[in-house]
A and B are shown apart, each in its own frame.
Chain A
Amino acid sequence: MIRRVFRRPEKYSIFFQQLITEINSLGLGSLGIVSIISVFMGAVITIQSAFNFTSAWIPIYAVGLATRQGIILEFSPTIVSLILAGKVGSNIASEIGTMRVTEQIDALEVMGINPEGYLIMPKVMAAMLINPFLIIISMFLGIFGGWLFGVLTGVVTSYEYVYGIQYQLRPFSVYYALIKTVVFAFIITSVSSYCGYYTDGGSLEVGRSSTRAVVYSSILILIFNFMLTQLLMA
C-alpha cells in the first residue's frame, strides 16, 4: 500500500491543491485545541513544579527550567501528537472509511485514478509539513501559559521564570522534538488512512475503523517515542 501511496501523482496541480486543503484541514483546523491545551498544560506544569520544589537547595528559577524541558521534550511533541491522533486520526479514518463503504474509492479506481495516492499522500505530506509548526506554536504557548499563570498565582516571579527557561538551553532539544513530531505525524496519518481504507461493511464498521485508528496510532506513538528517545538521547 505504501508503494502505491507514494506513486507519482496523476496531476501535480491537483496534488498541490489537495495538499493545501489538507494543510488547512489537518493543521490549521487543530490550532485551536492545540493552543488551549498547551497554555493550560504549561500553567499546570509550572504550578506543579513550584509546589513540589520545596527544598531550599532548588532555586526558584528551576520552575521555569522544568516547564521548558517538560514542554519541549515531551508535552508538545508527544502529548500533542496523542491528542492529534484522536482528533486528526479519527477524522481521516472516518472520512476514508465512508468513502470506501459508499463506493467513492471504487469510483476513483475505475476512473483510472490511483486512490491511495490521491487520498492518502496529500494527508501524510500535509501532516508531516504542518505538524512541526503546530508543535513550535504549542511550545511557545505552553511556556507562555506557564509564565502567565505562574506570575498570576505568584508561585514564581517573571524574572526567575524567564531566567529558568533560558538556563542551559540546548537547541538539540528542539530538533529532537521536531524529529519526533515528523515521525508521529507519519504514524497518525498513515495508520489512520490504512484503517479507513480497509473498512469493510457499513457505518458501524466506519466507527470501528475510526476507533482502531486512534488506538493503533496512540500505541505506535508511545512505542516510537521510547525508541526515538533511546536513539537520540542516549
Chain B
Amino acid sequence: MIEVRQLSKSFNNRKVLKDISLNFEQGKCNLIIGESGSGKTVLVKSMIGLIKPDTGEVLYDDRNFTRMNFFEKKIIRQEMGVLFQGGALFDSMTVEENIIFPLSMFTEKSLEEKVERANFCLRRVNLSNVSKLFPAELSGGMKKRVAIARAIAVSPRYLICDEPNSGLDPITSIVIDELIKEITYEYNITTIVITHDMNSVLEIGDTIAFLYKGDILWKGNKEEILHAGKKELVDFVYATKFLKEFRKRIIE
C-alpha cells in the first residue's frame, strides 16, 4: 500500500498541490484523474522522489520515503516500476538491453537468466521478435509495452504509470489498460495510473481520485463515477455535448 499524507507543492508561489492525502491499495488499479494542469504528474513525481514536496509524507508499506536518504530511497526504488508518458526507453540500447538493464544493475543473474527473463516479460506484454530492435524502430504502442516489460522485469511491488495511453489509438489504449490490470491482479502489486482517458477510467478504475486545481475533489470507483454529482467531475466525465445530453436523458 502507498499512503500520501498532506502533500503540498508550490512553484513560484503558485500552489500546485494542496495538502493531498490519499491511500493507494495493494492489488488494485488506483487511478488519479483530472484535466491537464491539475497537478497529476507533479503528485506522482513527488511520490517517486523526482520532485521534492514542500510538505507532507509518502509511505510505501509504512516506510516513510520522504525522510529517507539516497541509499534508503534506492532500496524502495528497486521495488518500483515506473512507466513514463513517453516510455523513456534508452535510445542507445535494444529492447532486450533495455529490459535487462535494471537486472544487470541490481542482480547477479547470468546473461542467460537475464535474457530468459527479458523474453518472458516481452511475452507477458504480448510482444515477440522485437528484442533486437531499437526503440526508434517501434510504434508508440510497442514502446509502451516494452516500457511495461522493463518495469515488471524486476518484479516490482509498486507499478506507477504516467498517462500510459497518451498518444495511442483507442484500441491500443485498451490493450495497454488490460495489460496493466492483468499485471496488477496477477502479481498483487500496488498500481497507480494517471490518466485523463475516460475509457481507462471505466476499464480499470478500482479506486479513483479526481484531482482538480491541486486538490482532491472526489474519491470513488468506476461504478460511482458515472453517478457523481460534483459539477467539475461531471464536466470532466461528460466532456462532450453528446455525453452531457445523454446524461440529462438518463437522469430525466
Contacts and interface: CB of A to CB of B under 8 A. Distances in A.
Contacts of B82: 107, 110
Contact of B49 (A11, A107, A110): A110
B221 interface: no
Most buried by B among A99, A102, A107, A109: A107
B105 interface: yes
Interface in A90-133: 98-99, 102-104, 106-107, 109-114
B88 A104 contact: yes
Given A110-B50, A110-B77, A104 B90 contact: yes
Contacts of B90: 99, 104, 107
Interface in B68-112: 70, 73-75, 77-78, 80, 82, 84-86, 88-91, 101-102, 104-106
B102 A111 contact: yes
A10 B105 CA distance: 7
B48 interface: yes
Contact of A111 (B70, B75, B77): B77
Interface residues of B, number: 24
B91 A14 contact: no
B108 to A, nearest CB: 10
Contacts of B106: 10, 112
Given A103-B84, A107-B82, A112 B49 contact: no
A84 to B, nearest CB: 21
Nearest to A10: B105
A194 to B, nearest CB: 19
Interface string A179-219: 00000000000000000000000000000000000000000
Contacts of A104: 88-91
Contact of B105 (A11, A98, A107): A11
A112 to B, nearest CB: 4
Contacts of A112: 73-75, 77-78, 105-106
A99 B86 CA distance: 12
B64 to A, nearest CB: 17
A158 B86 CA distance: 62
Given A10-B105, A103-B85, A111-B101, 18 more contacts: A10-B106, A11-B104, A14-B105, A99-B91, A102-B91, A103-B84, A103-B86, A104-B89, A107-B82, A107-B88, A109-B77, A110-B77, A111-B77, A111-B102, A112-B74, A112-B75, A112-B106, A113-B105
12 contacts: A104-B89, A106-B84, A106-B88, A107-B90, A109-B50, A110-B50, A110-B82, A111-B101, A111-B105, A112-B74, A112-B75, A112-B105
